[in-house]
Amino acid sequence: MKTANIRFAALAAAALAALNGLAMLDDEAALKAARETLAKMTLEEKALLTGGSGTMTISAIPRVGITKEWTMSDNSSTVRPQMNRWDWGYTNPRSQNTKLPSLSALASTWDVELARLHGEVLGAEMRDRGVDELLGPGVNIARTPLNGRNWEYLGEDPCLAAKMCVPMIKGVQSYDVAATVKHFCLNDQEWNRTTVDTHCDLRTLHEIYLPAFRAAVRDAGVLCVMTSYNKIDGIWASENKYLQTGVLRDRWGFKGLVETDWGGQHSNEFSANNGGGIEMDRGDKIVHHFNPKAGKYPLVDAVKAGKVSEATVDEMALHVLYVMAKTGFLTGAPRKAGERNTKKHQEIARRIGEESIVLAKNEKGVLPLDAKSLKKVLVVGKNAAEKQCHKGCSAEGNVPYEVTFLAALKARLGKDVEIVHQPIPRFAVKKASKEELEAVARAGGHVDANDKADDAFNVKLDEIKAIALTSDATIIFTGTELGYNGNMESEGRDRKDMLTDPGEDASIAAILSWGAKNTVVISRAGTPVGYTWTDAAPTMLLSSYLGMEEGNSIARVVFGDVNPSGKLCQTWPKRYEDTGVAQMGTYNGKEVVYNERFYVGYRWFDHKKIEPMFPFGHGLSYTTFDVSDVNVKTEKGCRVFVSARVTNTGKVAGREVVQVYVSYPDAKVERCEKELKGFAKTKLLNPGESEVVSVVLDKEDFAYFDELCHQFTTDAGKYEILVGTSSRDIRGKASTDIAWTMQFPWM
């Protein structure tokens, strides 16, 4: 009878929610349903909810109305095929889903509406597949360009990551499924990620590494948090009481489910007593709280031995039940219907890709290429034809199709245009003539380091030169790949340096020195690469991994169907040695002390006055924009309204991203030169058209974390508002005065 009542109340609440345009149960109704269910459970049943029942599931408990297992799946850009109960194999390897661009691409769109669509595609595809929890998004900060998973995250800046993850999470959860923000926290490298001990001062932690997690919890209502593998000050992140209880639950008010990264649980009672969440791992390795394979209950034993209180187990189970209730899984409330592999989803994948591509250079206006004027095109670089969607470890997917750049080019240009595709040969110094060596050195190639390159390639370079000089366009497709060979990008390991494969830089420098017609460089990588020849490349497009529509997205930008509007979400250093982690010696595989503190990314390059290859926020267009009328209005209570007029002053339609940075002329404590606090992307502006964009800042946007008070503080005084189109292209300034000092604990 009681169950029927709960169900009825939940159904009524859901109907009301649907009327209000919200799909999820409200907190009160969800907590009520969760508590009612908890009250009916035995200790053993509660313990069932403190660990997985298999690699990607949590137990069904039909006796109390949980009729099915809760099902999870990776990742942030697709719904990965379902895993077997006890191992890492796929239950149905053939199941297919849309693969969207990676999160570093999404961040480069600086478009919150696309972030929402990205989330909605994932939510709809999960529902259609019967998946309840998505193991994404990842919001770790790109602290070093070497991090093997930067492509899975939202860049180097906490404000950008926070503002992009919120609509994405809301989009996912609008389908009555749960999103999981990961990896909480300080998992900013893959090198020894399961053992490394990280040390970060509290101010940097709260200002740089936590804001995206906080926004996910506070502004998006994310339902799940995945802890990271690393240790923090000697304690595993998964059992760190300060973070799990002090920050996540007490400060941010998180009510949902915390789970370990797979295999990140190290104890039974210690974890339970320190705010640890549920244990996830490969099914047969889940052993600490509840051992599904052996059918044992170590957590129940710990309660019986007086080592863990039953109230603690109740709390852990309640968090899981709350998430189950919120999504309608527990109560049987109607959940939004999904769909997958639709044309609409594929178009969204393509659009996100197009909007993410960054035009880094276009000195001679080579781009866009005029398709009608091409009879012969040379494409150099095997990555132009290398599929990526099925790679990336937990971020991999299985797609109905994948369009590579080469395939898109062929489709676009048709049979009448000759397309020659060649790999980038590795330049062999031993075989090169004096003139060639000089030309390569002038273009920035590494001519001294490549003695070991395979001599056979040198012959190839001559062949390629002959083709290039008779082609109407030469497209060099470079970058990195996903995977474990050589210096690729991947989970579980970092890149060993920022360079391309040995000899590749020298070959690209050689190609750039030939003066071939319409030479275009396309770099496809999820993290900055330290190319040595960029000064010699007049035209460069930078792309991240763009999923199944990658080739179409890039081709549409190359031919001007789409005017590029992406902006870098990471600073591109000229060389690794310029980065904060390199200069402070704060990157290793054992004890990492974040000594560069909050000077991460552009904050470091500004602080040390280092010229990057391409600055954070940079991205050109096929048109030009004027930014004028920068206006700042401050309201009592510290709300600052910033507006600016953007006018398209060029010849084609395009979009611009206005970036709002704050600097601190009156700072009472050490502060960065400037910090991003908001941004707005214009609509598609026709030539001559303008739009007034606005960004609202509030007290949090001026604050620093005061370690002694353990509070955020906004001091009274003058603040400068910088409005730009990149972190190094500030177009207008205004200042505002904040009248009184404010402290607030909950950021």
Q: Of the two residues 73 and 98, which places its CB atom closer to ligand BGC in the complex?
A: 73
Site string for ligand BGC, 501-520 (x = CB under 6 A): --------------------
**Is residue 182 at the binding interface for ligand BGC, with CB under 6 A as the rule?**
yes
CB of 93 to ligand BGC, least distance (A): 15
Q: Strand, helix or coil at 199?
A: strand
Joined together, the tokens standing for residue 116 give: 């929402």
Asked if residue 354 binds ligand BGC (CB under 6 A), the reply is: no
Cα 455 to the chain's mean position, in Å? 40
| Sequence-distant (≥ 6) Cβ neighbours of residue 538 within 8 angstroms | 361, 362, 363, 364, 366, 519
Which of 70, 184, 209, 262 forms a contact with ligand BGC (CB under 6 A)? 262
Q: What is the DSSP letter of 429?
A: G
Q: Sign of dihedral through CA atoms 168, 169, 175, 177?
A: positive
Question: Is 604 near ligand BGC (CB under 6 A)?
Answer: no
Q: Does 77 bind ligand BGC (CB under 6 A)?
A: no
CA 667 – CA 672 distance, rounded (Å):
10
Provide the mask over 388-407, with x wherever binding to ligand BGC is found by CB under 6 A and - wherever it is not: ------x-------------
- Smallest gap from residue 194 Cβ to ligand BGC (A): 9
Residues 118-137 that bind ligand BGC (CB under 6 A): 135
- Strand 704-706, strand 711-714: pairing: antiparallel
Q: How far is the CB of 526 from ligand BGC (least distance, A)?
A: 15
**Looking at beta carbons only, is 151 or 705 nearer to ligand BGC?**
151
Q: Does 236 bind ligand BGC (CB under 6 A)?
A: no
Smallest distance, Å, CB 315 to ligand BGC?
24
Task: Retrieve residue 446's tokens.
Answer: 């590494």
Q: How far is the CB of 84 from ligand BGC (least distance, A)?
A: 12
Instruction: Please report how close the Cβ of residue 146 comes to ligand BGC at its closest, in angstroms.
Output: 17
Classify 329 as helix, strand or coil: coil
If 0-12 CB within 10 Å is exposed, 13-18 middle and 19+ buried, where does residue 630 land? Answer: buried
| Binding residues among 439-498 for ligand BGC as defined by CB under 6 A | 491
Tell me the two tokens of residue 129: 């597949």
Cα–Cα dist 571/281, whole Å: 35
DSSP code string of 72-133: EE--SSS-PPPBPSSSSSBSSTT-----PPPHHHHHHHT-HHHHHHHHHHHHHHHHHHT--E
Helix pair 550-558, 405-413: axis angle to 10 deg: 50
Closest-CA residue to 618 (of 730, 459, 699, 521):
730
If the CB atoms of residues 150 and 518 are measured against ligand BGC, the closer one turns out to be 150
> Residue 75 or residue 713: which is nearer to ligand BGC going by CB?
75
Active-site residue, selected from the candidate residues 111, 132, 188, 261: 261
Tell me how far apart the alpha carbons of residues 105 and 548 are, in angstroms, rounded to a whole number: 13
Active-site residue flag, 261? yes
**Separation of CA 65 from chain center:** 37
Nearest to 376 by CA among 516, 514, 478, 543: 516
- Distance in Å from the first CA to the final CA of the chain: 43
282 contributes a contact to ligand BGC by CB under 6 A = no
Least distance (Å) from ligand BGC to the CB of residue 164? 18
Nearer to ligand BGC, 3 or 192 (CB): 192
Closer of 82 and 362 to ligand BGC (Cβ): 82
524 near ligand BGC, judged by CB under 6 A: no
Nearer to ligand BGC, 283 or 601 (CB): 283
Residue 659 interacts with ligand BGC (CB under 6 A): yes or no: no
Contact between 165 and ligand BGC per CB under 6 A: no
Mapping DSSP to helix (H, G, I), strand (E, B) and coil, where does residue 39 land? helix
Q: What is the rounded distance in angstroms from the CA atom of residue 396 to the CA atom of residue 673?
A: 38
> Which one among 36, 45, 74, 176 touches ligand BGC, defined by CB under 6 A?
74
H helix runs in 198-309, sequence order:
202-204, 211-218, 241, 269-273, 298-304
**With contacts defined by CB under 6 A, how many residues of the chain interact with ligand BGC?**
7
Question: Is position 261 an interface residue for ligand BGC (rule: CB under 6 A)?
Answer: yes
Query: CA angle, corner 566, sides to 401 and 658, nearest 5?
Result: 150
d(Cα 642, Cα 731) in Å, to the nearest integer? 14
Contact between 157 and ligand BGC per CB under 6 A: no
Q: Which residues contact 235 (CB under 8 A, 6 or more apart)?
A: none
Binding residues among 312-331 for ligand BGC as defined by CB under 6 A:
none
Look up residue 183 and give its amino acid: H
By C-beta, is 154 or 646 nearer to ligand BGC?
A: 154
- Residue 57 CB, shortest distance to ligand BGC, in Å, is 12
Closest distance of CB 299 from ligand BGC, Å: 22
- Based on CB atoms, which residue is closest to ligand BGC, 150 or 553? 150
Residues 714-743 that bind ligand BGC (CB under 6 A): none
Binding stretches for ligand BGC (CB under 6 A): 74, 135, 182, 261-262, 394, 491
Q: So which residues are the catalytic ones?
A: 261
